[in-house]
Structure 1
Amino acid sequence: MNNEYPGYRLGLPAEGPGSIGGFGRRVLGLIVDWALATGASWLIAHEAGTTMPLITTAAFVVITSLGLVIFGSTPGHLVAGLHLRRVDGSPAGFWRPIVRQLLLAIVIPALVWDTDHRGGHDIIAQTVLRRR
């Protein structure tokens, strides 16, 4: 068996349900989530007469954190067929998704990846984004 695939060290399958979510799926999920946050921030900024970048980032963190805590997936993850779990396979719980999304919002941790294709935000939160 080839032990070079992402997720091998975590005991995950090479492909199919439960395997590491691929880059394309992650990007699709991020685009959907960012679009929702942009729409929400436009509504808020339009009413308040303020600027959007900070509101968009805050909306992104709130929308995605709520989705992860309640459903184990953000709206974008649902579209892309992904869900967030702890490394041991159990649900991510309450604090891990929030920490993960706050770290993702500052971008830099997400740019650092390990051999299992987990970004720094997942490494710190001890989570893994898996295929449904």
Structure 2
Amino acid sequence: MDNREVVGSWLSGPRATAEQMGVEFGYRGERLGLPEDGPGSVASIGRRVAAIFVDWVLCVVIAYGLIAHRDVHSANNWALAVFGVVSLIGLALVGGTPGKMIFRLRVIGLDGRRLSPLAAVIRTVLLLLVIPALVWDRDTRGLHDKAAKAVQVRI
């Protein structure tokens, strides 16, 4: 085995290396009984990042315009609180936030139903801590989704 092959396997990651060795992981969401693509499939990371960006910008604008009265530093602090409220209310009532709705995403329980209020609180609190949202499983569900027994799907 030459050095380029070793470096290539390191750069492509353990999943790619395992797949080259013949290990079959299946598609994202297969273990959850979700379709591979189309409505009901696990939402892509790109859509989820774009949705959270839209939600964050919306919350900063709300905090800046309505709460912080033109104080930028205070607006950034309030934006996190507004983000938590928007996320909690959106998840509990309609299964998503404004950004998720724009990108046609929804957060559902593993049973296919809307999240319970308790699950919405758990997911929101862990999302606000940021780190749990950055640790994913092979279905690209963050720890905040796993704790709430939730998954983000396309609609």
TM-score with structure 2 setting the length: 0.79
- Runs ≥4 residues deviating over 4 A: 47-50
Report the AA paired with residue 89 of structure 2: L
Deviations 1:73-105 (CA, angstroms, capped at 9, x unpaired): 110110011001101212112121221111111
Instruction: Return the letter of the residue paired with 1:113.
Output: W
Alignment coverage as a number of residue pairs:
131
Q: Tell me the residue number matched to 1:27.
A: 49
2:32 alignment counterpart: 10
Greater Rg by CA: 2
How many Å separate the matches in 2 of 1:120 and 1:50? 30
Unaligned segments of structure 1, at least 5 residues: none
Does residue 90 in structure 1 map to residue 113 in structure 2?
yes
- Is the Cα–Cα contact under 8 Å of residues 64 and 72 in structure 2 kept in the other structure? no
What is the aligned-residue RMSD (CA, Å)? 1.7
- Tell me, in whole angstroms, the C-alpha distance in 2 between the residues paired with 1:24 and 1:49: 28
Amino-acid identity (%): 40
* Matches of 2:63 and 2:108, distance apart in 1: 28
SS at match of 2:93: helix
Counterpart-to-counterpart distance in 2, 1:49 and 1:103: 25
Gaps of 5+ in 2: 1-23
